[in-house]
Amino acid sequence: MSTTPHPDPTDLTPRHVSALLQDTTPWLSCEECFERMDTYAEAVVRDPAHTDEAMAAHLRGCAACDEEAQSLVQLLAAQ
Ligand SMILES: [Zn+2]
């Protein structure tokens, strides 16, 4: 018996998302993410409302890249 009455697909944990990304990866690999990170960080610094669907999806599921992106944004923002 399940005690969770809400099968909400947005309820996925980063671990689930990461597993999904590894399986069918509709978005980016870590390598591709890394290649785009400079551009992404610059865009975010210029416009905090900037979104990149592919990057955002990867960063949600990949703590390592997320950390890297955040520190890069902070670095650029501090200049
Ligand atoms: Zn990654």
**What is this structure's pTM?**
0.64
Q: Give Cα 67 to chain centroid, integer Å.
A: 10
Average pLDDT, the chain: 83
What pLDDT is recorded for position 63?
96
Q: What is the dihedral of CA 6, 10, 13, 17, to 10 degrees?
A: 130
pLDDT category of residue 79 using cuts at 50, 70 and 90? confident
Q: Measured in angstroms, how far is the CA atom of residue 73 from the centroid of ligand 1?
A: 16
Number of compact structural domains in the chain: 1
Q: Tell me if 71 is assigned to some domain.
A: yes
Q: Tell me if 8 is assigned to some domain.
A: no
Q: Measured in angstroms, how far is the CA atom of residue 6 from the centroid of ligand 1?
A: 29
Other C-beta atoms closer than 10 Å to the C-beta of 60 total: 16
Q: Tell me if 58 is assigned to some domain.
A: yes
Q: Tell me if 12 is assigned to some domain.
A: no
pLDDT in tens, 28-41: 899 999 999 999 99
What pLDDT is recorded for position 24?
46
Q: Tell me if 2 is assigned to some domain.
A: no
Q: Could you say which DSSP state residue 10 is in?
A: G
Q: Domain containing 55: what range?
A: 23-77
Q: Tell me if 60 is assigned to some domain.
A: yes
